[in-house]
Amino acid sequence: MDTRSIQSQRLASVALVDWPSIASLATAAGTLVLAVATFAAVRSANRAARAAEQSLLVALRPLFLPSRLQDEQQKVMFAEGKWLHVAGGCAAAMAEDGVVYLLASLRNVGPGIGIVHGWRFYPGQESGGTAPDLAEFRRQTRDLYLPPGETGFWQGAFRDTSDPQHEEARKAVESSGQMTVDILYGDHEGGQRVITRFGLQPRKDAGWLLSAARHWNVDRADPGEATPPRKGNYLMSDPRRAGLPRVLNDPFAQLSGALAGTTRMRLEVVDNHRLTPAMQRVVLTAPELATFSYRPGQDVMLMVGVDGDRPVRRRYTIQELGAGRPLLTMGIVRHDDGPGERWVRAARPGDEIEAIGPRGKIFPAPDADWHVFAGDFAALPAFFAMAGSLPHGVRATVILEVPTPDDEQELASEADAELIWLHRLGHSLGDPAALVDAVTGVPLPPGPGHAYLAGEAKVVLALRQALAARGMADDQISAKAYWGLGKANALHGEPAKNNP
């Protein structure tokens, strides 16, 4: 076959190509790509809209709890012109002239304004996991708003003597008995309603202590219904929860480097109660504690939540490790909010949480003849653990600034220990003036000594400078910043690196 014949065949083949069909296929492919891109864009936009809507709803959501014991007393008037006083963290009640008055001091820890819709009374202590029927609630006749992060009150009264609950309430009040009040409230637009059950426990010095026992969501699923059971999960931090990643991006997945020698444990809450107005005592257990060892002043790191795909952890000092049954006791300072505070507030016996420990590099100096401890309230658990471990005859001075006199605690130690309590009361949080004055005036005995400083970052820096001015060398001072004023701690539980 010659060259001209081959060329003729090629031209014939080109002529047989169906160009309209190719164009149609290309158009179809382009349309399909465009449709896929449009679908993806619409789906992404819908997700973004849902996320934005959810963020807006969260920002409007209130949550009522008892106010703090150190919050100011409130004076509230009822319709008859009757005035009642209620202290922080408490409730007040009175039966007079055929009327039963009830009053509770509350704090809204949610981000949104809360408005009370109604209330339900029960004489005695009511328990149970089922939310009460909305038909059983009495309408709140006075508009009661609680701003976010602020204190407020709830009030109710029984005036109709023919009401069957009038007599029950009167007897409970006059006998200073236990009572239960369920409060129905929602955001300022009337949605996202919540029922919070408050228990009123009689105090020895008259009045009632207020505690929150349960929360039920009315207009959305309860957290316990939307997630697997609490038993065996990390409270607030289970990766199987809706919207959370199944695999966490955990920098501490491998216990190596600084974590070499630590143990990962699954601790179970045994007890959780208020020790002082501003400190909680939490007791936990785990089989690993039977062989667990630590040095006084060390801590454990608890996984208290999840931020995106990263675990959120907080560190708490080990105050005691019990003999016999392995029990780990911690003293935890209470705050207005935060991942650690939310876990402490919600933790109940039987809850489980991941822990890594022991951690920490500050212990009592073995060659020191005397010791000085100085810090704010956050340092109390560590200082008590270290000072409590000192042997007989060793001199120790512990200077602590606490919120109120009621937050003072007894130190168990064989050492010759002196406690100096400073009460913050109305002073600004994070103000180092009182602690610096105390450190400047405390006697420093002759011989080798060591100082331990802990608390807010700038307070620790000011204390270190005060001791340096008195001649203490750097190697005689162990300083640790636990927190920074106005700054959230990092996900691993410690302040930013630029803190002292």
- pLDDT of res. 496: 58
- pLDDT of res. 411: 93
- pLDDT of res. 227: 42
Residue 432 has φ and ψ, to the nearest 5°, of -85, -5
- pLDDT of res. 118: 93
Q: Put residue 209 in one of left, alpha, beta given phi > 0 → left and psi -120 to 50 → alpha.
A: beta
**What is d(CA 251, CA 112) in angstroms, rounded to the nearest whole number?**
34
- pLDDT of res. 128: 64
Compute, in degrees rounded to 10, the torsion defined by CA atoms 183, 186, 188, 189: -140
- pLDDT of res. 316: 94
Q: Tell me which residue has tokens 């007894």.
A: 410
| Maximum distance among all Cα pairs of the chain, rounded to whole angstroms | 125
C-beta separation of 266 from 326 below 8 A:
no
Sign of the CA dihedral running 228, 234, 235, 236 = negative
**What is d(CA 214, CA 473) in angstroms, rounded to the nearest whole number?**
53
What predicted TM-score, i.e. pTM, was given to this entire model? 0.54
- pLDDT of res. 53: 56
Q: Which residues of 165-177 are buried (b: 16+ CB within 10 A; e: fewer)?
A: bbebbbebbeeee
- pLDDT of res. 86: 95
**What is d(CA 372, CA 472) in angstroms, rounded to the nearest whole number?**
11
Pairing, β 449-456 against β 370-376? parallel
Low-confidence ranges of the chain (pLDDT < 70): 1-19, 33, 35-56, 127-129, 222-247, 324, 486, 488-500
Neighbours of 201 (CB within 10 A): 15
Q: How far is CA 82 from CA 78, 93, 181, in A?
A: 5, 12, 21
